[in-house]
Amino acid sequence: MFSQYFQTLQNCFKVSELRSRIFFTLGLLVVCRLVSMIPLPGLDGAALAEFFTNLRNEQDTPGLLGMYSMFTGGALERCAVGSLGIMPYISATIILQLMTAVVPSLSKLAREEGGRTQIIKYGRYLTVLLCLGQGLVMSMGWEHPERIPGFGNNAFWETHELVSDGGWWYMLRTTLLLTTGTVLLMWLGEQISERGIGNGISLVITVGIIARVDTAVLGMWEMFFPAAGGDPAHPSKALILLILLLAVVGVVIAVTQAMRKIPVQYAQRNVGRKMYQGGSTYFPLKVNYAGVMPIIFAQAILMFPAQIFGTLGGIIQGRGMAEMGQFFINIGDQLAYGNVWNLVMQALMILFFSYFWVATQFNETQIADDLKKAGGYIPGIRPGNATRDFLHHAMSRLTLAGAMFLVIIAVIPTVMARPDVGNIPFPVAQFFGGTSLLIMVGVMLDTMRQMESHLAQHHYDGFLKSGKVRGRF
């Protein structure tokens, strides 16, 4: 098997066009990593890196800052130009997708010729606006980190200082540089998609996640070879983790590719003076239609309630209402990342956002109308409203299965990191599930499919020739 994959990899470099695309992609990804390493002027990146180290040692969970740092490939910890990462562009794209589904003018524009190009342009403008806002907030936070509640021990900042010379010029300079970094990453991602191989934006995120492997390896090493005075983990734990990793990756690959094939029959029809022969095909319904979006939405929202309740409780206690303040603090502790109620809320929100995403992106009415206009029909189902209801029912059941899969994958890292369950360092546990694993697997499968299409044009076997998951009716 490995010899087959090695031969396929060799074939990739035999095709001149594919070889140039691969080298082009690798070169731009190196530039992306450089953007995440160039420090911003006037900031002490070493102090922030020390803060993150202390935060990981104290919490064993990522928190909001740790989660954001994971997506930026550690750029946030280094106070780098790419500290905002590509997330503002992702946020802008998601906002426009949702607006396209609910705003009639945007929906009409998306169906027009050249409309998608115009929407992409709107996404770039919105990205710049989001970068300016987030960059300003981030620069203010770096200048006064002790004012940010819920991100570790604020006493750390009594002896450390991030900004050497603050003021309006510092905030303006930092905001513009952060915006420039994100815009550069966005442009590099678009160039990879156009002239390279794979989805550029997704590859930028994936490379940032893979860059955190060294932290995971260090955490794994400390598990089995701890510092003086620590208890090493049993060697059998390494075998269990390896089996679990292979099992989770295999399940993620299978579910990511799984689909239900809805058979579609086309009748013979006349268009003008031409006669078109009928035929049969299928309409694919993906099991995990929403992808990783529900997990991202749920985790982003659940990062704030614990901090809000904790801060509110502290304010109430400061005004002399100790019992009421402690009540809000206890609620915040129950909703903190890793606790049972946080996991329950996360599961419910993933279920909600899975159906929400499908409801806004999957238009069964339009699909039924298009099939009817093209002379197509599902065997045993009448065209029109009956086809619409059938697609809605089928997609609802698939969405439930996909949402349950996302819930399990999302909670695996948190459960493994709990001291009373797995007691696995979170930098290690995050590669056993969650957002990072779904993104990496999805991007790698998409990249291999594109490489396979280039190889097929030159009569070479691809990576996925024998590994495709067959859909079921």
pLDDT of amino acid 470: 41
Fold of 23-211: Preprotein translocase SecY subunit (1.10.3370)
Nearest to 303 by CA among 67, 135, 144, 98: 67
pLDDT value at 61 more than 70: no
pLDDT of amino acid 471: 39
pLDDT of amino acid 65: 60
Computed over every residue of the chain, the mean pLDDT equals 80
pLDDT of amino acid 332: 76
In this predicted model, what pLDDT tens digit does every residue of 67-81 receive, in sequence order? 666 667 778 777 889
pLDDT band at 235 (very low <50, low <70, confident <90, very high): confident
Q: Residue 439: helix, strand or coil by DSSP?
A: helix
Q: Where in the chain are all domains bearing CATH 1.10.3370.10?
A: 23-211, 216-289+362-473
Q: Residue 159: helix, strand or coil by DSSP?
A: coil
C-alpha 245 chain-centroid distance: 19
pLDDT value at 229 more than 60: yes
What global pTM score does this model have?
0.78
Over range 119-138, report the average pLDDT: 90
pLDDT of amino acid 67: 63
> In this structure, are residues 387 and 371 in contact, taking their beta carbons and an 8 Å threshold?
yes
Q: Which whole-number Å values give the CA distances from 347 to 31, 118, 397, in the listed order?
A: 37, 36, 17
Q: Please indicate whether residue 151 or residue 302 has the higher confidence score (pLDDT).
A: 302
In this predicted model, what pLDDT tens digit does every residue of 240-270 receive, in sequence order? 888 888 888 888 888 888 889 999 888 766 5
Distance CA 83, CA 86 (A): 9
pLDDT band at 158 (very low <50, low <70, confident <90, very high): low
In this predicted model, what pLDDT tens digit does every residue of 22-44 receive, in sequence order? 999 999 999 999 998 888 888 87
Min mean pLDDT across 134-148, 176-190, 196-210 is at 134-148
Min mean pLDDT across 148-157, 176-185, 210-219, 261-270 is at 148-157
pLDDT value at 472 more than 50: no
- Give percent above pLDDT 90 in the chain: 13
CATH class given for the domain over 216-289+362-473: mainly alpha
